[in-house]
Amino acid sequence: MKNQRNITFTISLLFVLTLFSCNGDKVTKKDITIIPEPAVIEYGNGYFKIDDKTLVIADTNNPEIFKLANTLIERLNSAADLDIKIKKQSKNINQIILELLENEDLGEEGYHLLVQNNIVRLQANKAAGLFYGIQTIFQLLPVDIFSYQKVNNIEWHIPCVEITDKPRFSWRGMHLDVSRHFFPPEFIKKYIDIIALHKMNIFHWHLTDDNGWRIEINKYPGLTDISAWRVDREDKHWKEREPQKEDEKATYGGFYTQEEIREIVEYAGSKYVRVLPEIEMPGHTSEVFAAYPEYSCTGKIFTVRPGSYWPNSEIFCAGNDSVFVFLEGILSEVINLFPFEYIHIGGDEADKTRWKACPKCQSRINKENLKDEDELQSYFIKRIEKYLTSRNKKLIGWDEILEGGLASDATVMSWRGLDGGIAAAKLGHDVIMCPGTHCYFDHYQADPESQPLAIGGYTNLKKVYSFNPIPKSLNKDEEAYVLGGQANVWTEYIPDPEHIEYMALPRMTALAEVLWTPENKRNWRNFRKRLIIQYERFDRLGINYYNSKQ
């Protein structure tokens, strides 16, 4: 009896093994074009074929998992023209299983994907990991899976591989300046799609700056009635734009309503992208004084600037308490719109000329025992941080917030090289690295002669790919403060969405690999080969890009 049971067991085990092992040609590295490159790939034999009988198995009682299963079948059923259903379980073996499984090694965003001839099993610790695993499945399929049209006469094969993958950094960001030029909500969603396609997870939304206020604030309607609009000088070079004349109407600009913002934030959430709003202060704020001149030092009325000016002298008065009431009123609405734990308050390039001459600012310096205007800026930021902390939010600022003393729990975004980030990490503060040298996608990406007009600089694809967010001068403990990196897309010279895509891609593709892939697995030559297929994906998705080879 015992023997018989053993035999039955052995036979069923053999049956299971042959069933689940991969048959067919050996899969090789060149068959796989995943970007960013996964941490670990093992190659099997043959492929899993998706057809109408394939089932997606997922916990349909869990709304988040059910939604993820839907994102998988929607693309399969549209581009691949299949009719795949989601089931909770099935005896059928032709299935793609999505499941949550406690596995600390995979962290918040990692996944494990096993593709065999008869079955695909995607496991993750958290839903975000399943989302990234699904992105990987799409990239294992023929590129036509990215097509908006139905594509017939294709075998939808997933090569047999085993992938264990998770990101190197938790902060993988893309910034976009919507003040210098305004871009419609539909494009913001497309930008978020592109972020998610690259397994990046932060959208830093630069919502306010001198050239236009872009977020509806119910308490202060002047911000969208007046500060969101400037005169149209689009036919002139950014630096040669005459200010608004007395008899002129400001017609160029726009803003996002709170309803649009809520929708965008929710949309981003469904793609595991968190939205970081930026409200600039104390500088880069002259547009505010077009509607509310009382919050500047001089009280003078300004018009919203249609182009550049330097330096940024028109900044919030730091000696006037009503400025803080105003800013807290704004931030209170911002906090209600954005669930992300961080709020970015800018802090960059504030010229202190007005503060030096302002009696209120000088009296604040005296009363608070501050040494100089740098310490006054630090006072300003610390006061705002106190408010944010009281509302359970964390403050992020550009590296200038180090000057005059860093607020106690502030996170620093290091843009003027890595030094600000290094200093902040050494002080025990979290840091996001986005140095102008490697992460400014408003800079030229090739010989300026061959490119549309840009702000200057030169950052080609290879340079972005060589970026390392961890400076050598940090020790192991300090390294841990570097949350990751991001690229910034300032739009003084970028007036429309196609141009944004052109400037962002493929440099963003390189940055995505820098921020996701283990450093020792990064390989420029191999990346360039995979890039060719990535371009085909962009083509299918209707995304513009610069056909860069270096």
Q: Which residues make up the interface to ligand TNX (CB under 6 A)?
A: 348-349, 398, 415, 440, 442, 455, 490, 492
Q: Which is nearer to ligand TNX, 319 or 435 (CB)?
A: 435
Nearest to 284 by CA among 255, 249, 315, 310: 315
CB of 411 to ligand TNX, least distance (A): 14
CB of 208 to ligand TNX, least distance (A): 11
Q: Which amino acid, residue 541? A: L
Rounded to 5 degrees, what are φ and ψ at 121?
A: -125, 120
Q: How far is CA 405 from the centre of its chain?
A: 28
**Cβ neighbours for 445, distance < 8 A, ≥ 6 positions apart:** 451, 458, 459, 460, 461, 503, 507, 546, 548
DSSP symbols for 21-87: S--SSBP-GGG---SSPPSEEEEEEEEEEE-TT-EEE--TTSHHHHHHHHHHHHHHHHTT----EEE
Q: Which is nearer to ligand TNX, 50 or 228 (CB)?
A: 228
Tokens 């992020």 locate to 396
Rounded to 5 degrees, what are φ and ψ at 22?
A: -95, 130
CB of 399 to ligand TNX, least distance (A): 8
Q: Which is nearer to ligand TNX, 206 or 522 (CB)?
A: 206
The four Cα atoms 60, 63, 65, 69 give a dihedral, to 10 degrees, of: 70
Other beta carbons within 10 Å of 258:
15
> Do 296 and 317 touch, CB atoms closer than 8 A?
yes
Q: Which is nearer to ligand TNX, 139 or 459 (CB)?
A: 459
Q: Which is nearer to ligand TNX, 203 or 538 (CB)?
A: 203
**What residues pair up with 172 in beta bridges, in sequence order?**
485
Element (H, E) at 408: none
- HEC string of 172-229 equals EEEEEECCCCCCCHHHHHHHHHHHHHCCCCEEEEECEECCEECECCCCCCHHHHCCCE
Q: Which is nearer to ligand TNX, 263 or 349 (CB)?
A: 349
Q: How far is CA 157 from the centre of its chain?
A: 31
**What residues pair up with 177 in beta bridges, in sequence order?**
206
Q: Which is nearer to ligand TNX, 248 or 349 (CB)?
A: 349
> Do 196 and 509 touch, CB atoms closer than 8 A?
no
SS3 percent helix, strand, coil of the chain, rounded to 5, is 40, 20, 40
Q: Which is nearer to ligand TNX, 380 or 398 (CB)?
A: 398
Nearest to 490 by CA among 481, 477, 499: 499
CB of 374 to ligand TNX, least distance (A): 17
Q: Which is nearer to ligand TNX, 67 or 237 (CB)?
A: 237
Tokens 């996170």 locate to 411
CB of 205 to ligand TNX, least distance (A): 14
> Do 303 and 251 touch, CB atoms closer than 8 A?
no
Q: Which is nearer to ligand TNX, 240 or 247 (CB)?
A: 240
Q: Classify strands 40-50 and 156-165 as parallel, antiparallel or unpaired.
A: antiparallel
CB of 444 to ligand TNX, least distance (A): 12
CA-to-CA dists, residue 470 to 420, 424, 466, angstroms: 13, 13, 12
**Cβ neighbours for 420, distance < 8 A, ≥ 6 positions apart:** 399, 400, 402, 412, 414
CB of 227 to ligand TNX, least distance (A): 17
Catalytic residues: 209, 284, 349
CB of 258 to ligand TNX, least distance (A): 25
> Do 513 and 36 touch, CB atoms closer than 8 A?
yes
CB of 454 to ligand TNX, least distance (A): 10
